[in-house]
Chains A and B, each alone.
Chain A
């Protein structure tokens, strides 16, 4: 399978007055053409920063320090900003978590769609036709009237659909979705998930899906990476990850997840807090909260190691985890 995106050793930090927050520390992953790749982790683990780095949206005080972001063979970190603009919206698009703040409140939906169509040099009529068909495609009824509405006149679910419509205006090949369902009601979440899956098939897109919700991962992702404290802790295809989790953090996430399998009883939250990203610890960042940790974990961090085909993990004591059951049995 061809890789549409390859991220190698990405380092992104935020340089503040008194400290530097190392949000993304040496992150590497790849996305195959036509697949949905999940990036999972709790708030603050660096997944959002990673997303924004892919589109080079990182602004002062943030900075992409080093690494490679190779899209269709081209390293995006080596091109000029002018050239990057030609990738954004056209090849790679992004949708955000909170549609109320991601849509400009003072511009009509029409205007915001026009902006996405700018590069196509269409006449006003052609743009209107396209806008209406886009809104129809994402399931917004009466699109002709809706075009002149402002974002605040839409409901939460509709706003998210509108944002999706706008981002897909130029039929990008790669969609970066930063927690697209987190801010929505559960019933609407479901609709949006189905919508994105359908659009993906229809348009042949690849997707990077960022979420903290393993349920969403199960419904949408082909492959997943689990992030913690700015690093990737484990990565595998979805089925493997859910049946054979091989990292204490992943296991912790699954234990704290409510699900209907009667075998699992209590919910076990992960105690403690993530580490301070401006002063990253030596050794494994998860160590203080890990029930499998030993002395070595405090001083030496494990490398990301492939334990079976396509399944990597970063832990000294993978052996201890061999018998732990995942959420599904295969």
Chain B
């Protein structure tokens, strides 16, 4: 099946899922205790003001009408207005999305840099000291709470020595990059640990295969063997895992952005929960879901390119 056909097929499969997802989100948000109108107006609210605002916000209509209006808005990219920020949600999200994307980008870079070298070395030196150290390191890294690591790094590199800012995004691009280094590094540890483990196992499994010896028997030198045979095969599983982890990074961004005061979408979600900003929470969760689904489809496609034995069905 050609790639295009596959994508279309997946999208068609996804549509019913997305519909269920939107229904779930819509109703879940409505269940959050607390009436947004009273929250917005505060103590000074008079019954008339409450009534007016309720009508203005469309909260008086029956629930299914509200849902249909919501879906209509989704499809036209009109996600409503943020109560808290008083601007359209789509504008709010697009401004903050960039930050999360930059954070994710650097997280991926750090994860790959850390894991590639360590995973490969551990695989080659299986069961010897480097392997044991690296595996232990990965295990400990997976037991560390991201928010704590972030704070410790802040204490060390922003408070005690001022290389990095104590949070915030900064106002120029050089400042942005400086601001995102510690958070990206913090977030990369967990993924780096999982990737390193995966690459190590991939290398170990590949080294057992006869084709490595066959390649050597052809008189190939070590670097060709490493590149075309060992890494090329171990990479299949590695890249697939990396793709999948990008979805998890979204979840992690909620915490990281909070700890480092980065105004990205993750932090936005928490803020909106506190401020009962329905429209924003809805939009953010749906966007998360859409991203995850897209990444999953892309992962499957990437896998079929990496491993010629697999065809898209």
Interface residues of A (CB under 8 A from B): 17, 52, 55, 57, 59, 85-90, 93-98, 101-107, 111, 115-116, 118-119, 150, 152, 163, 166-167, 169-170
Q: Flag if B213 contacts A103 (CB, 8 Å).
A: no
A94 to B207 CA separation, bound complex (whole angstroms): 18
CA distance A119 to B221 in the complex (A): 11
The count of residues in chain B whose C-beta lies closer than 8 Å to any C-beta of chain A is 24
Q: A17-B127, A101-B209, A115-B224 are known contacts. Are A89 and B219 too (CB-CB below 8 A)?
A: yes
Known: A98-B210, A103-B211. A118 touches B309 (CB 8 A): no
Interface residues of B in 266-313 (CB under 8 A from A): 306-309
Contacts A88-B218, A90-B219, A166-B218 given: A107-B213 contact, CB under 8 Å?
Answer: no
Q: Which residue of A lies closest to B124 (CB)?
A: A60
Q: Considering residues B207, B213, B215, B217, which has the most beta carbons from chain A within 10 angstroms of its beta carbon?
A: B217
10 sampled A-B residue pairs with Cβ under 8 A: A55-B217, A57-B213, A86-B219, A90-B219, A96-B214, A97-B210, A104-B229, A106-B306, A107-B228, A116-B218
Residues of A with C-beta under 8 A to B216: 55, 57, 88
Q: A104-B228, A105-B233 are in contact. List 19 more A-B contacts (CB 8 A).
A: A17-B127, A57-B217, A85-B219, A85-B220, A89-B218, A89-B219, A93-B218, A94-B213, A102-B211, A103-B214, A104-B215, A106-B233, A106-B236, A107-B232, A116-B218, A118-B219, A152-B309, A166-B214, A167-B217
Q: Are A106 and B221 in contact, with the CB atoms below 8 A?
A: no
**Residues of chain B from 93 to 133 with CB closer than 8 A to chain A in the complex:** 127
Q: From residue B114, how far is it (CB to closest CB) to chain A in Å?
A: 25
A102 to B213, CA, bound (A): 8
Docked CA distance A106–B215 (Å)? 13
Inter-chain residue pair count (beta carbon < 8 A): 84
Contacts of A115 in B (CB 8 A): 215, 218, 220, 224, 228
Give the 4 A-B residue pairs with the shortest CB-CB distance, closest first. A89-B219, A88-B219, A94-B217, A89-B218
- Name the residue in B127, B210, B306 with the highest tally of chain A Cβ atoms < 10 Å from its Cβ: B210
Q: For residue A16, which residue of chain B has the nearest CB?
A: B127
